[in-house]
Structure 1
Amino acid sequence: MRIAFLAAPEGVEQVELTEPWQAVKDAGHEPVLVSTRPGEIQAFDHLDKADTFPVDAVVREASPDSFDALVLPGGVANPDFLRLDEKAVAFARGFFDNGRPVAAICHAPWLLVEADVVRGRELTSWPSLRTDIRNAGGTWVNEQVKVCDNGPNKLVTSRKPGDLKAFCETFLEVFAEQGQGAG
């Protein structure tokens, strides 16, 4: 499977990028870093700068059709920057339009709110997003990992870095199931 990881040039929470990325690689899949600009992205450890990572594809040139699934890492600034970029919003929405699975952790569902794909869905996130999710027509739950299959695709969400192990195990299972169903 070819799995897109969408991240802004700055603000992604490093552990929410690197742990899912490694889980995808360990499962024998191909992770691809997609961003709004070429070059590198700057990751953060909460509010402190951490490592940089090379961008594999620019969102304006990428198509959801080229990927089997999407992972949206969090960080407060990451989805806030992405939701202001029309191409990033359209890219994320494209996975829903095409029935491909999506996984989002922490603040990442902000991008899904902007893409108008949470209506009628049950999901979790960092607690400060609950009102935004409810206002966008979703149902917010306080669970370590939530899988919602109310829609054309499955959506896997998780709350925080402490949930990463369960998040990675769950989205890999869901991606594999949905991938088999499509093939």
Structure 2
Amino acid sequence: MPDIADTRFLIIATDGFEQSELFEPRARLLEDGAQVTLASPKLDPIQGMEHDEKGDTIRPDMTLDDVDPDQYDALILPGGVANPDTLRMNEKAVDIVESFMESGKTVAAICHGPWLLVEADVVDGRTVTGWPSVRTDLFNAGANVVDQEVVVDGNLITSRKPDDIPAFVEAIKKAVTQAEAVPAS
């Protein structure tokens, strides 16, 4: 089993991400020695939100067009209302989600992040959770929707809200350390 320090994570986000749902998992993984890459449609800094107030910005490491899913062990999809709503209309973002799901690699989505799972058509028959307003979309996409702080269904991890971040991150760590790490290139 790989050590968390031997794993590579990809986070995809754009303006309007829920600040805690990107920064906290990223910080915890970096503290454990993992490699974490942030990709966005452009390299310009992206604006975080603390609920409905502007938060901090962060500069992406690469664009979505430069992402090679084969180079990563896991994908993290933070929420925020505007972030996943914008990304689900981005063909490359949806392709990245599909690629990770098809490969069986860990995909973790929190809050409104599961909208990308719906758009990628990867939740049919899966047990998931998400922010209450997203649950109808998940249900309509064929998912079994539950109200739990974290749900693990195979390679798919979902959580509801910022309060769930500790359980969300622990589930991600457990999933990737029990999977085979992608060899460094």
Same fold (TM over 0.5): yes
Q: Which residue of 2 aligns with 1:164?
A: 165
Q: Which residue of 1 aligns with 2:115?
A: 110
Q: Which residue of 2 aligns with 1:76?
A: 81
- 1:120-145 deviation digits (Å, cap 9, x = unpaired): 10001001111111111111100010
| Separation of aligned partners in 1, 2:180 and 2:51 | 33
Percent identical: 46
| Separation of aligned partners in 1, 2:44 and 2:135 | 33
1:82-121 map, 5 Å: 82-121=87-126
The list of structure 1 runs, each at least 4 consecutive aligned residues, that deviate by more than 6 angstroms after superposition, is none
Q: Which residue of 2 aligns with 1:63?
A: 68
- The one of 53, 63, 77 equivalent to 2:58 is 53
**Relative contact order, CA 8 A, sep 6+: which one is greater?**
2
Stretches of structure 2 lacking an aligned partner (at least 5 in a row): 1-6
| Separation of aligned partners in 2, 1:145 and 1:30 | 23
Q: Which residue of 2 aligns with 1:138?
A: 143
Q: Which residue of 2 aligns with 1:2?
A: 8
Stretches of structure 1 lacking an aligned partner (at least 5 in a row): none
| Deviation (angstroms), 1:104 | 0.6
Count residues in correspondence: 177
Superposition RMSD in Å? 1.2
| Separation of aligned partners in 2, 1:139 and 1:62 | 30
- 1:98-154 deviation digits (Å, cap 9, x = unpaired): 1111111000000010000111100010011111111111111000100001xxxx1
TM-score for the superposition, normalised by structure 1 = 0.93
| Deviation (angstroms), 1:159 | 0.4
| Deviation (angstroms), 1:179 | 3.0
Letter paired with 2:41: T
TM-score for the superposition, normalised by structure 2 = 0.92
